[in-house]
Amino acid sequence: MTRINWFYYAAPARFYGLAGKLVPWCAAAAVVLGLWGLWIGLVVAPTDFQQRDSYRIIFIHVPASWMSMVLYVAMAFWSAIGLIFNARLAAMLAQAIAPTGALMTFLSLWTGALWGKPTWGTWWVWDARLTSELLLLFLYIGYMSLRAAIDDERRADRASAVLAIVGVVNVPIIYFSVQWWNTLHQGASVSVSKAPTMAAIMLQGMLVMALAMWAYAFAVVFARVRLIIREREQGAAWVRELRPAGALP
C-alpha cells in the first residue's frame, strides 16, 4: 500500500485547486438542502402548540448556533495545526473561517432576540445560551481585530492562533459560568433556546437546515481561503500565471 502523504494538500497552490473544485459542489448542496429545509420549516411543518408559528425561527436559530460553535472549534483546530507544523495554509484556513463564524454567531443572536420577543416579551433575555453566544461573538471579533492590528502576516497568524486556542479552552468555562449565573438569577424556566418538543418533521427540518448551513459554510470558507491564498502568495509564480478565474457562487 502506498504511503499517504498527509501533507500533499498543505501546499497553498495545491489546496487552491482542490478548494476550487469543491466550492461549486458545496454551494449546490447548500442551495438544494436550504430550499428543502425551508420547504419543510416554513411550508410543511405544522404549527407548535405552545409557541404557535413563532417557533419556526428555530430552523435558523439552532443551525446558526451550532455552526457558530463548530466554526470556532474548527478555527482553533486549524490555528493549532498552523502553530505546530508551522503551516501557512492552516493559518489561512483559520483566517478564512473567522468572518463566517462571526456571522453565524450574529445570526444566532438576532434570531434569538426575534424569537424571545414574542415568547418572553423582551428583545433581549439574559438567557444562558444567548449570553454565551454574545461572549462568543466578542471572541470572534477579538480574533479578527488582533489579525487586523498586526501588519506582519506570519506574526498575525501565530498571535491569533494563540488567541484562538486560549479562547477555545476558555469557552467551556465561560459557558459553565454563564449557566451558573443564569440559574441563580433567572431560574431555568427562561430559556429562549429551548426548542418545543419536536415532532419528527420539525426535527427533520432542523437537521436539513443544519446540513445546509454546513454546506454553505464550507463553500464560503473555501472561496475565501482561495482569495486569501492569492492575496498572500502574490509573489509566487503560480499565482501570477492565474487567469482571473476561480469558482465563486
Query: Which positions from 105 to 144 touch another protein by CB under 8 A, shown as an x/- string?
Result: -xx--xx--xx-xx----------------x--xx-xx--
Q: Which stretch binds another protein (CB under 8 A): 7-15, 85-93, 98-106, 192-200?
A: 98-106
d(CA 96, CA 81): 15
Q: Under the criterion CB under 8 A, does residue 238 sit at the interface with another protein?
A: no
Q: Which residues contact 79 (CB under 8 A, 6 or more apart)?
A: 90, 91, 94, 160, 161, 162, 164, 165
Closest distance between another protein and the C-beta of residue 131, in Å? 9
* Residue (156 or 190) nearer to another protein, CB: 156
Nearest CA to 158 among 63, 88, 227? 88
Candidates 76, 89, 178, 208: give the one binding another protein (CB under 8 A): 178
Q: Which residue has the cell 420539525?
A: 202
3-state secondary structure of 157: helix
**Least gap, CB of 141 to another protein (angstroms):** 7
**Nearest distance in Å: CB 94, another protein:** 14
Cα 40 to Cα 47: distance, rounded to the nearest angstrom: 12
Pick one of 80, 190, 207, 248: the residue that binds another protein (CB under 8 A). 248
Exactly one of 146, 190, 207, 236 binds another protein (CB under 8 A); that residue is: 146
Binding another protein by CB under 8 A: which of 9, 25, 158, 190?
A: 158
Number of residues that bind another protein (CB under 8 A): 68
Choose one: 10-18, 69-77, 87-95, 152-160; the region binding another protein (CB under 8 A).
152-160
Please give the C-alpha separations between residue 163 and each of 32, 168, 174, 200, in angstroms, as whole numbers. 36, 9, 15, 40
Angstrom distance (rounded) from CA 92 to CA 229? 7
Q: Which is nearer to another protein, 89 or 178 (CB)?
A: 178
Burial of 66 (0-12, 13-18, 19+ CB in 10 A): middle
To another protein, the closest distance from the beta carbon of 48 in angstroms equals 10
- Rg over alpha carbons for the chain, rounded to the nearest Å, is 20
Closest approach of Cβ 1 to another protein, in Å?
38
Distance, CA of 203 to CA of 26 (rounded, Å): 23
Nearest distance in Å: CB 110, another protein: 6
Of the candidate residues 52, 86, 188, 194, the single one contacting another protein (CB under 8 A): 52
